[in-house]
Amino acid sequence: MRLPQSFTRHLSVFFLHFLITGALLVFCSGPLHAFSTVPELARSPSLLRFGNVDVGQTETLMVTLTNGGQSNVTVSDVNISDPAFATPNLSLPLIVPAGQSVEVSISFTPATTGWTPGIIKFLSNASNSSLAVQAGGTGVDSQAVTVKPSSLAFGQVPVGGNSSLPLVLTNARTWNITISGIQITGAGFSISGPTFPLTLSRGQSLALTVNYTPQSAGLTGGSVLVSGPGLCIPLAGTGTTGGMGQLSISPASLNYSNVPVGTTDTLPITVSATGASVTVSSASSSSSQFVLTGASFPLTIASGQSMSFGVAFTPQSSGTVSGSLSLSSTASNAQATEPLTGVGTQTAYTVGLSWNPSSAAVGYNVYRSTSSTGSYSKINSALDNNTAYADSTVAAGNTYYYAATSVNSSGTESSLSTPVQVAVP
């Protein structure tokens, strides 16, 4: 006996529905199991923007490879699409431990002018076995805006602490250059300065401050991208959890005695770091007569190590001068200060003058000027009965002009004699 047609259709639909549901369950369970055992590799940033780089010069940025899985990832090879890009100092195979990150340096060395795109592929045993990082930079003959320093290295900074370094942009063209904005990348980096857009005229400079406040331990890379001139300034800093270092300066103070005005005397100082590495970002002197020599900032002093520099004293006048030298750093004593004292001495000079006597004179006056065409002032307080005079009020390095007059018994004074020139060494 044949079944009714309507019943047959109902049974077919039910059976197909069961098969489809079962297939979906089997398909979903497989990938879920594979995802839990094979780690995936991530990169940050996904795009490296090098900006404008002089042809033949090298700029280096960093990319962070992060292993989010529970087993190590081994990077076995790197494929680079253009020879202008490279991975300097990368040793393969590279192990990225489970749950951790590794910084990899990528360099750009343009061989010609113009835009150069590139792709850097990291090949590994991760689930995404080929991880690509896009890169791009522009080769130029010369920079429209120069930057000092060309890169910033903050050294070791305690997690939660802060370190600041200066950055100066200068217009190298004969025409105005507009900076439309500044973009900073990298965890923990920030920048402070004027608002944008702004225009730099010929030779004009712009001072900025880059700050680094590490949020976690380890090396961190970043960059400052200056829109308009297309500059890229690499940044690097290392967060530490071992505590902050201490900076000390020896001797406890510097004392300069009897330094002739206009000459320079230099004394040594030793700067030491203890407890942890310390990065010194800058030095400042309370008096222009004291100057730190032999130092280039920023500089990092490893824990237990020292560096020696000089402090020069150039007195501008006689007498005692007091001042101080301050070093700004990442140490717990962020401002280490060195007291300074110096004594400037002035060599005493005396100009001896003499002249022929006048028969009708009962005395003489002496006049002085600092210019051959200038006005003369009398320098003797009372009528000089002699034909000689000693001027002890002169200063080193100056030239003076002297003339004398004679005075008769009725008080009549003659005109100035022919001036004589005297240069005091």
How do residues 63-93 score in pLDDT, each as one tens digit? 999 998 889 999 999 999 999 999 998 999 9
Give pLDDT, residue 36.
Answer: 42
In a domain, 286, yes or no: yes
Q: What average pLDDT does the segment 40-64 reach? A: 94
Strands 198-200 and 218-227: unpaired
Q: Is the peptide bond before 298 cis (omega within 30 degrees of 0)?
A: yes
Measured from the Cβ of residue 176, the count of other Cβ atoms closer than 10 Å reads 11
Q: Are residues 171 and 186 in the same domain?
A: yes
Reported as a pLDDT band with limits 50, 70 and 90, residue 15 is very low
Reported as a pLDDT band with limits 50, 70 and 90, residue 7 is very low
The 10s digit of each residue's pLDDT in 192-216 is: 989 999 999 999 999 999 999 998 8
From 11-25, 208-222, 307-321, 380-394, the region with the lowest mean pLDDT: 11-25
Give pLDDT, residue 25.
Answer: 31
The 10s digit of each residue's pLDDT in 158-171 is: 888 888 889 999 99
Q: Are residues 160 and 131 in the same domain?
A: no
Q: Are residues 47 and 132 in the same domain?
A: yes
Reported as a pLDDT band with limits 50, 70 and 90, residue 8 is very low
In a domain, 17, yes or no: no
Reported as a pLDDT band with limits 50, 70 and 90, residue 39 is confident
Q: Identify the H or E element spanning 18.
A: helix 5-35
User: How far is residue 374's CA from residue 367's CA, in Å, rounded to a whole number?
Assistant: 12
**pLDDT surpasses 80 at 389:** yes
In a domain, 5, yes or no: no
8 A C-beta contact, residue 131 and residue 121: yes
Reported as a pLDDT band with limits 50, 70 and 90, residue 275 is confident
8 A C-beta contact, residue 279 and residue 329: yes
Tokens of 345: 């001495």
**pLDDT surpasses 50 at 22:** no
Q: Are residues 43 and 121 in the same domain?
A: yes
Give pLDDT, residue 37.
Answer: 54
Helix (H, G, I), strand (E, B) or coil at 354: strand
User: How far is residue 203's CA from residue 171's CA, in Å, rounded to a whole number?
Assistant: 5
Q: What average pLDDT does the segment 163-182 reach? A: 94
Percent of the chain with pLDDT over 90: 72
Task: Find the domain containing 112 and state its range.
Answer: 39-142
**pLDDT surpasses 90 at 332:** no
In a domain, 1, yes or no: no
The pTM of the full predicted model, rounded to 2 decimals, is 0.56
Non-local CB neighbours of 263 within 8 Å, separated by 6+ positions: 314, 315
Domain boundary among 307, 325, 345: 345
Give pLDDT, residue 30.
Answer: 36
8 A C-beta contact, residue 399 and residue 357: no
In a domain, 269, yes or no: yes
**pLDDT surpasses 50 at 412:** yes
Domain boundary among 83, 113, 142: 142
From 20-24, 60-64, 335-339, 408-412, the region with the lowest mean pLDDT: 20-24
Q: Are residues 160 and 227 in the same domain?
A: yes
**pLDDT surpasses 70 at 14:** no
* Residue among 136, 147, 211 nearest 177 (CA): 147
User: How far is residue 225's CA from residue 185's CA, in Å, rounded to a whole number?
Assistant: 8
In a domain, 117, yes or no: yes
Q: What average pLDDT does the segment 373-382 reach? A: 93
* Residue among 145, 113, 227, 212 nearest 180 (CA): 227
Domain boundary among 226, 242, 258: 242
Query: Count of domains in the chain?
Result: 4
Strands 254-260 and 335-345: parallel
Q: Are residues 273 and 226 in the same domain?
A: no
User: How far is residue 294's CA from residue 309's CA, in Å, rounded to a whole number?
Assistant: 5
Start-end of H helices in 57-180:
none
Q: Are residues 97 and 122 in the same domain?
A: yes
* Residue among 178, 204, 225, 195 nearest 51 (CA): 225
Mean pLDDT of the chain: 88
CA-to-CA dists, residue 330 to 29, 238, 241, angstroms = 53, 12, 13
* Residue among 250, 299, 294 nearest 277 (CA): 299
Reported as a pLDDT band with limits 50, 70 and 90, residue 38 is low
- We report the CATH number of the domain holding residue 150 as 2.60.40.10
**pLDDT surpasses 50 at 2:** no
From 162-166, 283-287, 414-418, the region with the lowest mean pLDDT: 162-166
